[in-house]
Amino acid sequence: MSFRQAGAVTAVVDDVKFAEPKFAKGENDFDICVHIVHAEDEGQSDWWRGEVSQEYGKGNFANMTQAEITMKTLRSIGFEGEDLTQLKAQLAGKKIPAMIKESKPNAEGKVFFNVQYIGGGGDHPVEIDAGAMKKRMAALFGGGAAAAAETKTEPAKVTPPPAAATAATKTGPFGKAAPAKSPFGNK
């Protein structure tokens, strides 16, 4: 089964498997595969693959490893913790957003509809209400910023903190403090 049209859909997580990597070349690399079914048409389904490797992503994800990108995606659909053996138990049956993308026609002219991303991918902004915005501006720019926003004047320019003060230390494979025991069950 596969999807028959492109666009945003609501899907249900049907299965989760660990597989040999599709692209990664490292000895210990693997893919996490999440099978999703269209929530309104069970005849449409496909697999999403998330790479778990120390290779860096591309574009907007160039500063994250594939393992970090995959874990971020899994957390966006409800996975909690670092124990990957709990993925299926936590995600099976869960409704999630997914984006299906139409491929370019192959040599025979056939078009496929593939899972582009699952979870909060894409550019779907989460709106901040006006009251919360005023509080955030006051916290970031000082008390005068909220008043400046109300009178539509320019807030004072703020010099950003030094990069060293904002850089996060990554100690574990997913950008978090390393657990006492490996999430993969090995030493």
- Which DSSP state fits 166? H
Q: Are 113 and 3 in contact (CB under 8 A)?
A: yes
Percent of the chain with pLDDT over 90: 63
Lowest mean pLDDT among 30-34, 100-104, 122-126: 122-126
Tell me the C-alpha distance between 158 and 135, whole Å. 17
As a CATH number, domain 7-124 is: 2.40.50
Angstrom CA distances, 99 to 24, 93, 120, 125, stand at 23, 18, 10, 16
Q: What is the mean pLDDT of residues 1-25?
A: 94
Q: What is the mean pLDDT of residues 51-77?
A: 95
Lateral strand order in the sheet of 7-19: 45-52, 30-38, 7-19, 95-102, 113-118
Tell me the C-alpha distance between 102 and 158, whole Å. 44
pTM over 0.85: no
Q: Which two tokens stand for residue 67?
A: 């393992």
Task: Judge whether residue 170 has pLDDT over 60.
Answer: no
pLDDT computed for residue 175 by the predictor: 57
Tell me the C-alpha distance between 184 and 175, whole Å. 15
> Euclidean distance between the first and final Cα of the chain, in Å?
39
User: Which regions of the chain carry the CATH code 2.40.50?
Assistant: 7-124
Pairing of strands 45-52, 95-102: unpaired
